[in-house]
Structure 1
Amino acid sequence: MNSLAIASADFNISFGTAGAVQDMPAFAIEAERPADKAAREALLDRAMGPGRKRKSSEALRRGRLPAEGLALVARSADGAVLGTVRLWNVTLGAGGRPALLLGPLAVEPSVKSAGIGSALMRQAIAEARDLGHGAILLVGDEPYYGRFGFSAERTGELAMPGPYERHRLLALELTQGALDGACGTITASGRRKRNERTRAA
């Protein structure tokens, strides 16, 4: 993706824009950097609370790296991380059908109404489609994620590897038919973090 190229689609704000909406921060979407780790984790703690690491979706992320090219941040004009979203490689059922799992999506609580979450979602979906992925899954509220095309219509035969609310398992096909016949438990398939490989050796 082009670094610092995408601004909020909801408010049409970008770096250097004159007359930006008052109190709405200028931001741009770009690839996450290694140096963003501490800021990202602190933002997730503030936005999602201490229970975030006990979610079933976390089991699919633990010890793994995000899908190549699909870890994004919303960055303010002064370099602060205002939002984050990552996508992860997973497989669906025994057949090993590839897909992506999106999450967590989080925005700095003080700027939750600035369109940052929507901008992150739209860019993540566009990047995944451009990279040739067939489908994205997530666990979330359909009234919010439905605006991006997610629904529970294609996930009835799929399951998360732990406790979850079935009606909140949503999916978006990036290519028609990508989830035809998909069934079984979702499992992690992404690249392992280096320290995980080292311990296993």
Structure 2
Amino acid sequence: MALVLMLAFVGTAKAETAIVAGGCFWCVESDFESVPGVSEVVSGYTGGDMKNPTYKNHEGHYEAVEITFDPAVISYDEVIAKFLRSVDVLDDGGQFCDRGSAYRTAIFVSNKAQKQAAQAAVAEAEAALGQKIVTPVLSAKTFWIAEDYHQDYYKGTDIVLTRAGPKKQSNAYKFYRKSCGRDARVRELWGDQAFSH
């Protein structure tokens, strides 16, 4: 019996998390939920000092996501490399059509190993682009989970009003993402290294 239990745990790695900010958290969530080894992506706010931030008031915070993954399938280094290739790492004023400090890119690290890996990934990405990357590596602060309606927004079936009229939420998300030029800019910047959903 003990041998059977022991064998059940061989090769089972404990889930890890990565916290990144890449502009609109709906887009980062959408990109990473389909990655093999990623079990959950949660939208939220982090980086600021305000307690219990909300979508209407998250001053000082970034829109961010917490990515839970199995390190036996995908490493932290790989998650960060994909993240850097899913955003405009040269834009320090926001991302795509979302402007302002809440929409800047950042990598939030919770320990020395994550910090070293994130810094190495940024250096490698800078070498690949031949340009200075503005995405900072910051110490993690409290991650505040965003309101329920922001979770899995890109899959939603509610009807919402857009500049192009009423649309099913998932279609409104696609319209927003395309209109903002997110994927086009990422492809322009990263070419065949681009990562997006």
Shared fold (TM-score greater than 0.5)?
no
What's the TM-score once normalised by structure 1's chain length? 0.34
Report 1 or 2 for greater relative contact order, CA contacts < 8 Å, sequence distance ≥ 6.
2
TM-score if structure 2 supplies the norm length?
A: 0.34
In proportion to residue count, which structure has more helix? 2
